[in-house]
Amino acid sequence: MELLWVLAGLVAAGLTLLGGTIYVRAVWRRTSSTRWSSWMIWTITSVTSLATYYGSGARESAWVPVAYVVVCGSIFIVALLRRSPGGLTNIEYLCLFGAGLSGAVWWVSGSAIYGQLASVAIEVIAYVPIWMAARHEHRLAWSLETAGSVVNLLAISQLTLGLVLYPVALLASNGLVLGLIVWHSRQKHLEPALAA
- Give the Cα separation of 118 and 125 in Å (integer): 11
Q: Give the model's confidence band at 180: pLDDT under 50 very low, under 70 low, under 90 confident, else very high.
A: very high
Structural domain boundaries of the chain?
2-195
Query: Which amino acid makes up residue 176?
Result: L
pTM for the full predicted model: 0.86
96-150 pLDDT, tens digit each: 888 888 888 888 998 888 988 988 898 888 888 888 888 888 999 999 999 999 9
Check: CB of residue 163 under 8 Å from CB of residue 44: no
Question: Residue 16: which pLDDT band, with cuts at 50, 70 and 90?
Answer: very high
Q: pLDDT, tens digit, for every residue of 48-98?
A: 889 988 988 889 889 999 999 999 999 999 999 988 887 788 888 888 888
Q: Which amino acid is at 158?
A: Q
The whole-angstrom separation of Cα 96 and Cα 54 is 20
Residue 168's pLDDT is 96
